[in-house]
Structure 1
Amino acid sequence: MLTLKRFANPDVTRAFTNIIWLGLERLTQIGVAILISGMVARYFGPDTFGKWQYANTLLLVLSPITWVCGAEILVPTIVNRPPAQLGTVLGSAFALRFYVSAAALLLTWLAIALHVFEPLVGAMLAGLAVTMLFREPFVGVINAWLQSMTYSKPQLLTSMSTAVLKAALVYLLVRTATAPAHFGWLWALESAAIGAVLLIYYARRHGGKLGWHVERSLLKHFASAGTVFWLGLICMYLFLKLDRLMLERAISFADLGRYSAAQQLNENWIMLALMLAQTIAPAFIYRVQDAAQLRRNVWRLSALTAVLMVSGALVLDLLAGFIIRRVFGPGFEGAIEIFRWAVWLSVPAGIEAVSNLIVLKYQAKFVLLTKWLLALAVAFVVNLLAIPRLGAYGPLVGLAAGYLAAVSVNLYYIRFKLRP
């Protein structure tokens, strides 16, 4: 009876449905990303694919700059303010994000114009960078509104649909032998389409108009309240992409393309650990208040995650040759051994994702910042020492060391926060 009552609760039902849609969206994105990477890699070849991956790496390093006023600040503000102030909250958040995103885009284009990047990398990045103008100001703001209602279905359904359509358009670009420099604009078109659909959806839910307004005091609050979390996320993404940033200066673009092919598959595998953490967090971490029960849940979930990641890594290690050849085709044989080593990074990454839930539960923003600063510094030093000696395998050592540093900070915080 307790279970039936629990599922009869509309909040629990809504949350459970939201989790299902989140899982479907993530699995769709992973499948589409692998499919697109395979098509692009076969069409571009290792050298051009290396430049494409490097342009994407630069985008993923630049994008966190636009994450000012993150969901951890915006969603609670929406929930705690009266419904009549929704337009002011969203309008102020949109204005801040749009100004920051526009500045980031203009600076990126300026760097491209000044030939800071290799010419083809710059041409690819020119289109990719436009996604910053739509993702956070438009998609991010409306998605925060949907999250505040525990109803992300419209955004997730739109994201899945455009991802499938993008894969079809990539196939068309490949079939028509479109120049590699033009591919980035397809990603810009996708982000613009998602933003437009969500804007229309929001307007239809509010009498056919947005009704957004800017409040100066709220604008200042948003600019300052999430600064520490924002810096922490920037450090995290720098850590995750530091391997390619440092490798670009040490190896050829062709070898970078092979390394990136292996890492892209591996990152999609690691994403499953993050999905697992997001799925179990509400029931086993966020809603539990007893410290002893929280400790038990964290250790059990960490052990379960480690077993799952080890089991998956074993399978992927054995199938590495088959997977790389099927997805990327000839010219990427060198990615097989890198992939076999890289999949084992999922073990510390999975444990970090689970133990990080306690940091997020208690909104320990300075712990989050310290952790990723430490992980970034450790990976940087290890890469400096390992890349000259191990080549493309060096950054794997740097990532492993960085993840272990991050896990160590998480575990120290858990022992401090949940001590008996």
Structure 2
Amino acid sequence: MKALTRSGNPDVARALTNIVWLGLERLTQIAVAIVISGLLARYLGPDDFGKWQYANTLLLVIAPITWVCGAEILVPTIVNRTPADTGAVLGSAFVLRMSVSIVALCVTWIWIAAGGTDPMVGLMLAGLAVTMLFREPFIGVVNSWLQSLTYSKPQLIASMAAAIVKAALVFALVRAAAAPSSFGWLWALEAAAISAALVAYYVRRHGGTLGWRFDRALFRHFASAGTVFWLGLICMYLFLKLDRLMLAHRVSFAELGLYSAAQQLNENWIALALMLAQTIAPAFVYRVQDTARLKRNLVRLFAMTAALMIAGAAVLDALAGFIIARVFGPNYAGAADIFRWAVWLSVPAGIEAIGNLVVLKYQAKYVLLAKWLFALAVAFAVNWFAIARIEGYGALIGLAAGYVAAASVNFYYIRFRLRA
């Protein structure tokens, strides 16, 4: 790590150091997620594990509502203002995000109390939903400030430490034969702990005071700016979880548990592979202004990502039975076949992610929104037809169709934007 800081350019040194810490944090999160999934899958059994996964799916569909005033708006605002304005910027963003999060949490709890979902799913979701009070209002705001400094190390260390402690607490609750509904509160505790650590760090860096204050003009700006990006992200996350949302209405929770077990591992594989590819992407996309050079770089990134995904998918396909048995146990043997097919989704997912870098480079917010609306519509249509006939495999086909639809929009935009 020290070798990185000896770079002649301090900005490059900070960026490289950030990349290393980001890689460590992602690897830690992936390892912890796999360990926790294995513990819960074995303890809860396919039926309750399916309910647990469905509760997490519902959270990941609801949570993007709280992502108002995203980092693409907040970070440039911090950078372009004087240090004396930082308290007003962060305080106004905090008030906006906390207000939206409280409303989202209250609506979620009311929906659960009204019997909107299975009682056990509702109990699990009730604890998980509390994370919304901490993730964006506290963690998201402080993390945006850290991003403006190109210094994410405090947030990444806090996240890694909290994840490891959470895994230990999950193990303790499993050993204590805790009620399935109690696990969701560990996720809320993790978010609260990270929030406390980051706020304490911010206070220490600012002379022992928080100094956040509300500014009406900034509040109005944050409430309106970035709306299109916000809607696009909501559509994207709805697309990513649409398979489980629709599958839950067609199969039992036990069958959903098998499908979710396979997808849990697959999503971690995709996240790792994309992280490795995207780590070097900013230098090859965001900072490149020459069109011809950018085209060459994109061809190389597409080829590298495709090769990585295909090679990894082939290995995981061959080892599917062994991996599922080792992580989830013999009760999840039926997930192996789903996993074998699911890993190949990493190929279109990787191609889409690289193409998306160009959309983000040029801040094409309407393209982003149109892309995920299109992908969502295509996936919904395919799921509606295929899930009724081949259940989990139909959901995988829907995901694949959605990824192809999103990638096709990326390619069309790249051809349009980089025409020469």
Q: TM-score band, normalised by the shorter chain?
A: over 0.9
1:176-206 deviation per Cα after TM superposition (whole angstroms, max 9, x unaligned): 0000011100000000000001000000100
Q: CA deviation at 1:124?
A: 0.2
Which residue in the other structure is 1:114 paired with? 114
Distance 1:117 1:86 in 2: 42
- Once residues 110 and 274 of structure 2 are traced to their aligned partners in structure 1, the CA distance between those partners, rounded to angstroms, is 35
| Matches of 1:292 and 1:276, distance apart in 2 | 24
Give how far 1:272 is off: 1.8
Residue 337 of structure 1 aligns to a residue whose secondary structure is helix
C-alpha distance in structure 2 between counterparts of 1:82 and 1:191, whole Å: 30
Measured after TM superposition, the shift of residue 296 of structure 1 is 0.9
> Residues 277 and 353 of structure 1 are in contact (CA less than 8 Å); yes or no, is this contact kept in structure 2?
no
> In the alignment, what sits opposite 2:269?
269
Determine the C-alpha separation between the residues in 1 that align with 2:118 and 2:222. Answer: 36
Contact 2:57 2:245 in 1 (8 A): yes
Deviation sequence 1:207-239 (CA, Å, 0-9, x none): 111101111111011011110000000000000
Residue 389 of structure 1 is matched in structure 2 by 389
Q: Which residue of 2 aligns with 1:315?
A: 315
Counterpart of 2:146 in structure 1 is 146
Residue 179 (structure 1) aligned with residue 179 (structure 2):
yes
Distance 1:6 1:200 in 2: 29
Consecutive unaligned residues of structure 1, counting only runs of 5 or more, are none
Determine the C-alpha separation between the residues in 1 that align with 2:322 and 2:310.
Answer: 19
**What residue identity is the alignment partner of 2:317?**
D
Give matches, 1:254-403, under 5 Å: 254-403=254-403
Structure 1 residue 392: Cα displacement: 1.1
Alpha-carbon deviation of 1:274? 2.8
1:30 and 1:360 mapped to 2: Cα distance? Answer: 25
1:205 matched to 2:179? The reply is no
Whole-angstrom distance in 1 between the partners of 2:7 and 2:241:
41
In the alignment, structure 1 residue 216 sits paired with structure 2 residue 216: yes
Letter in 1 for 2:386: A
Alpha-carbon offset, residue 391 of structure 1:
1.1
State the SS of the aligned residue for 1:129: helix
Paired position in structure 1 for 2:135: 135
The aligned residue for residue 7 of structure 2 is: 7
Following superposition, the deviation at residue 330 of structure 1 comes to 1.7
Q: Give the unaligned 5+ runs of structure 2.
A: none
Output the CA distance in 1 between the equivalents of 2:393 and 2:82: 54
Q: Counterpart in 1 of 2:31?
A: 31
Q: Which amino acid aligns with 1:387?
A: I
Structure 1: how far apart are the matches of 2:319 and 2:281? 31
Partner of 2:16: 16
Post-superposition offset of 1:412: 0.5
Distance in 1 (CA, whole Å) between partners of 2:277 and 2:225 is: 25
1:163 aligns to 2:182 (yes or no): no
CA distance, structure 2, for counterparts of residue 392 and residue 412 of structure 1: 31
Q: Determine the C-alpha separation between the residues in 1 that align with 2:79 and 2:367.
A: 26
Residue-by-residue CA offset, 1:303-340 (whole Å, 9 max, x unaligned): 11000000000000000000000000021111000000
Aligned to 1:82: 82
Question: In structure 2, what is the equivalent of residue 225 of structure 1?
Answer: 225
User: In 2 relative to 1, CA 6–225 (structure 1 residues): closer, same or farther, beyond 3 Å?
Assistant: farther
Deviation track 1:366-393 (CA, whole Å, cap 9, x = no partner) reads: 0000000000000000000101111111
Q: Match for 1:174: what amino acid?
A: V
Structure 2 residue 52 is matched with structure 1 residue 64: no
Aligned mates of 1:85, 1:344 — CA distance in 2 = 48
The amino acid across from 1:216 in the alignment is R
- TM-score, normalised via structure 2 length: 0.98
Letter in 1 for 2:252: S
- Using the TM superposition, give the Cα deviation of residue 260 of structure 1 relative to its aligned residue in structure 2, in angstroms: 0.1
Aligned-residue offset at 1:299: 1.2
Alignment RMSD (CA, Å): 1.1
* Structure 1 position 276, deviation (Å): 2.6
Counterpart residue identity of residue 209, structure 2: K
Match in the other structure for 2:188:
188
1:337-369 CA deviation, whole Å, 9 max, x = no partner?
A: 000000000000001111110000000000000
Stretches of 4+ aligned residues off by more than 6 angstroms: none
- 1:280 CA drift (Å): 1.4
Contact 1:273 1:353 in 2 (8 A): no
Q: Who is 1:247 aligned against?
A: 247
Aligned length: 417
Q: Distance in 1 between matches of 2:158 and 2:76?
A: 24
Separation in 1, partners of 2:202, 2:281: 28
| 1:240-293 superposed Cα distances (whole Å, 9 cap, x missing partner) | 000000000000000000000000100001102331343112210111000111
Q: CA deviation at 1:75?
A: 0.3
Given the superposition, is the C-alpha separation of residues 300 and 172 from structure 1 closer, same or farther in structure 2, using an over 3 Å criterion?
same
CA distance in 2, matches of 1:83, 1:142: 14
Task: Give, in whole Å, the separation in 1 of the partners of 2:277 and 2:35.
Answer: 25
CA contact (8 A) 1:6 1:12 kept: no
Specify the SS of the correspondent of 2:288.
Answer: coil
- SS of equivalent residue, structure 1 residue 68: coil
Identify which range, 302-311 or 4-13, moves more after superposition. Answer: 4-13
Taking structure 1 as the reference length, the TM-score comes to 0.98
Per-residue Cα deviation, 1:33-68 (whole angstroms, up to 9, x for no partner): 000000000000000000000000000000100000
Deviations, residues 82-121 of structure 1 (Å, cap 9, x unaligned):
1100000000000000000010000000001101010000
1:408 aligns with 2:408: yes
**Secondary structure at the residue paired with 2:285?**
helix
**Match of 2:280, SS?**
helix
Q: Measure, in 1, the Cα distance between the counterparts of 2:275 and 2:22.
A: 8
Alpha-carbon distance between aligned partners in 2 of 1:6 and 1:77, rounded to the nearest angstrom: 30
Residue 7 (structure 1) shift? 2.8
Instruction: Tell me the distance in 2 between the aligned counterparts of 1:281 and 1:228.
Output: 24
